[in-house]
Amino acid sequence: MDRLPQLRTERTRIRLAEAADAPELLRYRIDNRAHLAPWEPLRDAAFYTLAHCAQAIADGREAARQDRGYPCLVFDPGGAEILATFTLANVVRGAFQACHLGYGVAAHAQGRGLMHEALQAGLAWAFGPLGLHRVMANHLPSNERSARLLARLGFEREGYAKRYLCIAGVWEDHMLTAKTRPEG
């Protein structure tokens, strides 16, 4: 694979998950279950098992190999603890050169600018080595933290989609935002 993210920022290390990350990914999922639940699809019990984490990692690496998506883990600088995750999903090439962005940060790591720091690096990689032209990110109208984060990153509102994603078991309306590759 010649197109994998290996990024460093002041407070993070960012890369695709590897098979050995399964126990730490499971810990992240369990510790942040209540924190992330209002903003994500319903998760069944299997989601909180080592086997599911191992399969998700294998699926993620296969998606990256096929240039379909890049699920990234954001570690502390020592590479021990997952602080956040983000995914460049649904990559479409051709005339579109676009993807969707999803993200979340550990409850205890919120409010320190870490997600912003990680996504700045992730977006530079997406618009640089990955060669994308457009990244789309959509959020619940009630998710003000997410709206503020996207605005700070330079995403612009493009629309409002009714009953767009099934979040926590309900088809929810979403704000549609996007950022295109900075010119020059």
Ligand X SMILES: CC(C)(COP(=O)(O)OP(=O)(O)OC[C@H]1O[C@@H](n2cnc3c(N)ncnc32)[C@H](O)[C@@H]1OP(=O)(O)O)[C@@H](O)C(=O)NCCC(=O)NCCS
Q: How many CA atoms lie within 13 A of 77 on its CB side?
A: 4
Which residues of this protein are in contact with ligand X, per CB under 6 A? 36, 39, 103-105, 110-116, 139, 143, 145-146, 148-149
When the beta carbons of 3 and 112 are compared against ligand X, the nearer one is 112
Compute the least distance from the CB of residue 46 to ligand X, in Å. 21
Q: How far apart are CA 124 and CA 129, in angstroms?
A: 8
When the beta carbons of 52 and 174 are compared against ligand X, the nearer one is 174
Compute the least distance from the CB of residue 112 to ligand X, in Å. 5
Compute the least distance from the CB of residue 145 to ligand X, in Å. 4
Q: Which residue is nearest to ligand X (CB)?
A: 113
When the beta carbons of 121 and 143 are compared against ligand X, the nearer one is 143
The sheet with strand 134-139 has its strands ordered as: 6-8, 13-16, 70-75, 82-92, 98-105, 134-139, 170-180, 156-167
Compute the least distance from the CB of residue 177 to ligand X, in Å. 10
Cβ proximity of 139 and 147 under 8 Å: yes
Compute the least distance from the CB of residue 115 to ligand X, in Å. 3
Q: How far apart are CA 115 and CA 175, in angstroms?
A: 19
Distances (CA, A) of 24 to 48, 49, 96, 163: 12, 11, 35, 34
When the beta carbons of 28 and 146 are compared against ligand X, the nearer one is 146
When the beta carbons of 4 and 120 are compared against ligand X, the nearer one is 120
